[in-house]
Every structure is written in C-alpha cells, then in structure tokens.
Amino acid sequence: MKTFAQVAIAFLLCSISLEAQANVGQEGIFVIEGGTVVVGDGQQFEGSILIRNGRIVDVGTSVAVPEGAVTIDASGQFVYAGMIDSY
C-alpha cells in the first residue's frame, strides 16, 4: 500500500509539472533586443526579434515594439533567429 501511495503522489506531481509547462513561450508578445542576431544565411547584425504567440514575426535593426510586450535584454549575447523547427 505504501508503494501505491508513493507512485500515486509521483504521478500527481509529474502531471502538475507538465500542465504548468504546457503553454510556456506559446502565448504573448516578446521582444529579444540588444544582441547580435544571426539569421539562417549566416548574416549577423545588432538588432531585435519580435515573437508573437510562439512565432517569430519580425527580425531587424528597427523592430517596432508593441505596447505590453515582454522585453528580453540580450546585450553582449548572440541570438539565433529561426534555428528551431526551421524545416
């Protein structure tokens, strides 16, 4: 009986953890700015990346930042735009 309770508690904790992570990075508007942006063809420039609901919608040196966007400072770092799910 003790083993069943331990398994049930472990299952419950894993379920809660998975639910908490289900929408991470999928909703909202984010802007990554101040870093060196590297795009698919290898081009590099100081710029920003606008992400809306988990999708890159704009990349450039003068991206318009919408009101209410979460800003991520990437100063001194490299940011690779579109390297995930690029197929």
Measure the CA–CA gap between 77 and 58, rounded to whole angstroms.
Answer: 19
**What is residue 22's predicted lDDT score, i.e. its pLDDT?**
44
Residue 5 has pLDDT above 90, yes or no: no
Top pLDDT among 28 and 6 is at: 28
Distance CA(76)–CA(59), nearest Å, equals 18
Give the long-range contacts of residues 33-38, CB within 8 A, separation 24 or more.
33/63, 33/65, 33/71, 33/72, 33/73, 33/74, 34/73, 34/74, 34/75, 35/74, 35/75, 35/76, 35/77, 35/78, 35/79, 36/77, 36/78, 36/79, 37/79, 37/81, 38/78, 38/79, 38/80, 38/81
CATH superfamily of 24-87: Urease, subunit C, domain 1 (2.30.40.10)
- Statement: residue 23 has pLDDT above 60: no
Res 29: pLDDT: 92
For the chain, the structural domain boundaries read 24-87
pTM: 0.64
Q: What is the pLDDT of residues 6-19, one digit of tens each?
A: 767 776 666 665 55
Q: In the chain, what percentage of residues exceed pLDDT 70?
A: 71
